[in-house]
Amino acid sequence: MREAVRGVGAAVSGLRTWGTSPRLMALGLVPGAITAVVFAVLAVVILLQLDEWSRSIAGALVDGDGWLSGVAQVGAALAILAGAALVAVYAFTAVTLLAGQPFFERLSRDVDAAAGFDGSDPGETAWRSTVRGMAEALRLACLTVPLAIGLFLVGLVPVVGGAAAFTLGAVFGGWFVALELTTYPLARRGVVSLRDRRTLLRGHRWRVIGFGAACFLAFLVPLGAVAFMPAAVAGATQLVQRLGVERGITGPRPPAPPS
């Protein structure tokens, strides 16, 4: 729990970057605003169809129109929303980071520089970096779909299913979101591939989940995804700093050998 709270603290601390780099943070709103328009349309479609979909699922599970059918319909609606939230939040994060790559890389670099860390960008072209990022995002997206189906099934459990589905969605979704948001700061420390990021962050699982879950929940707030995205990138950079990650090594730097 203590590690998770520290992760939440890293997410909150990203908001302070508005005071040090307001212009760059404001530019970081643009990619999120553009991406949000597309996802807003999809969200409206889901909400318009939610009643019909949940009624059909409830009818398949419960006979009749009594109170039990009403409970099943509410549970089905919550299950649909939990599964959709997991996929939508991760997809929004991945697409926005790719669309706003120059802005977010610069923002992350400035946050590192303010803390006295001068890392080096990966030795790959912008095109190769973009292709790699798209491939890794697609790999993670393929994982979110079966997880979303699992959350949907959990949400169908009477009474506790909806709350359990949203809680698990925040945990798993937070992990995926954190994997995306830490791409830039870790790349400057020599941790470039998705596999290496996952291996390194797994050693700090609950702090990373705490950070990612805070971002996940902030992204669910209307317009929160747009407003919080630059702060999430800054917070991810500060999270990596607090983990002591440097050149793919976690923990403090080893002492220099005696001269």
Q: What is the reported pLDDT for 123?
A: 65
At residue 254, the 3 state secondary structure works out as: coil
Residue 190 lies in a domain: yes
- Average pLDDT of the residues in 60-85: 81
Q: Give the range among 72-76, 82-86, 116-120, 219-223 with minimum mean pLDDT.
A: 116-120
Residue 140 lies in a domain: yes
Q: Among candidates 236, 226, 240, 219, which has minimal Cα distance to 12?
A: 236
With cut-offs at 50, 70 and 90, classify the pLDDT of residue 257: very low
With cut-offs at 50, 70 and 90, classify the pLDDT of residue 207: very high
Q: What is the reported pLDDT for 206?
A: 92
Residue 249 lies in a domain: no
Residue 236: partners with Cβ closer than 8 Å, 6 or more residues away = 10, 14, 108, 178, 181, 182, 184, 185, 211
In the DSSP assignment, the letter for residue 221 is S
Please give the helix or strand (H or E) that residue 215 lies within, else none: helix 205-220
Residue 248 lies in a domain: no
Residue 257 lies in a domain: no
Residue 88 lies in a domain: yes
Most confident of 136-150, 169-183, 184-198: 169-183
* Pair of tokens at residue 20: 């040090």
With cut-offs at 50, 70 and 90, classify the pLDDT of residue 98: confident
> Beta partners for 199?
none
- Average pLDDT of the residues in 82-108: 86
pLDDT digit string (tens) for 185-202? 898 888 888 888 889 998
Q: Give the range among 148-157, 225-234, 250-259 with minimum mean pLDDT.
A: 250-259
> How crowded is residue 253: how many other Cβ atoms within 10 Å of its Cβ?
9
| Residue 231 near residue 17, CB atoms below 8 Å | yes
- Domain assignment of residue 209, given as a range: 2-242
Q: What is the reported pLDDT for 209?
A: 93
> How crowded is residue 137: how many other Cβ atoms within 10 Å of its Cβ?
22
pLDDT digit string (tens) for 28-56? 888 888 888 888 888 888 889 888 888 88
Residue 155 lies in a domain: yes
* Pair of tokens at residue 10: 């890293």
Q: What is the reported pLDDT for 26?
A: 86
* Pair of tokens at residue 14: 């990203």
Residue 251 lies in a domain: no
Mean pLDDT of the chain: 83
Does this model's pTM top 0.85? no
| Residue 155 near residue 83, CB atoms below 8 Å | yes
Share of the chain above pLDDT 70, in %: 91
Q: With b meaning 16 or more CB within 10 Å and e meaning fewer, what string describes 93-109?
A: bbbbbbebbebbbbbbb
- Average pLDDT of the residues in 211-219: 92
Q: What is the reported pLDDT for 131?
A: 77
> How many domains is the chain partitioned into structurally?
1
Angle formed at CA 121 by CA 116 and CA 127, multiple of 5 degrees:
150
Q: What is the reported pLDDT for 72?
A: 81
